[in-house]
Chain A
Amino acid sequence: EDQVTQSPEALRLQEGESSSLNCSYTVSGLRGLFWYRQDPGKGPEFLFTLYSAGEEKEKERLKATLTKKESFLHITAPKPEDSATYLCAVQALGATNKLIFGTGTLLAVQP
């Protein structure tokens, strides 16, 4: 069964304190792995798509990496405005665009 597990469930950082969020996945064949940011009361906002092991993508203070079993979202020198829930999702080959989501990591960055 296709499955996505995110850790930790919650993470509290001081401003400027770098860290990483983990997304472990089990899927019959990976078409793509997606990272989203979700603010309270809002829908998920797209961050990155990764397609193959070894691929990396960056956007401002965020960098996503992918291996055959997991993905990391690295946050470098975070700011309070980075506080949000970060969601990971996978799309399996032949799954006709359906995404399987993890339960998310709630990140709080304190000034």
Chain B
Amino acid sequence: DADVTQTPRNRITKTGKRIMLECSQTKGHDRMYWYRQDPGLGLRLIYYSFDVKDINKGEISDGYSVSRQAQAKFSLSLESAIPNQTALYFCATSDAIGYTFGSGTRLTVV
């Protein structure tokens, strides 16, 4: 099994719909992150969490919310999806040595 698992892998949704992307990790790390990747813009941080009770906004948090259900689970929600949220979304976890990324969720908002 992968160290960081993201579901779904692909999703097409309509404008205005609520959608949740899920992430679970088996690394046992406290720190988890959500990034989005757009062509020409690189990976940008949406939200990060250093433990279950600590959640922080990243550089592009508007339009997103997160929930840290347990040490191993960190979900990202789009309350009302819009087309410019079409992107590749990555969850990651880290310790003092480095980051481990999931395989990503490709989200298309039509």
Contact = CB atoms under 8 A, between A and B. Distances in A.
Interface residues of B, number: 24
A54 interface: no
Contact of B98 (A49, A96, A102): A49
Nearest to B41: A103
Given A43-B4, A43-B90, A44-B90, A101 B42 contact: yes
Contacts of B68: none
DSSP class of A's interface residues: helix, strand, loop or mixed?
Answer: loop
Given A87-B43, A96-B50, A46 B58 contact: no
A42 interface: yes
A107 B99 CA distance: 22
Given A43-B102, A45-B101, A46-B100, 8 more contacts: A43-B90, A43-B101, A89-B43, A96-B50, A98-B45, A98-B48, A99-B45, A102-B42
Interface of B: 4, 31, 35, 40-45, 48, 50, 58, 90, 92, 94, 97-104, 106
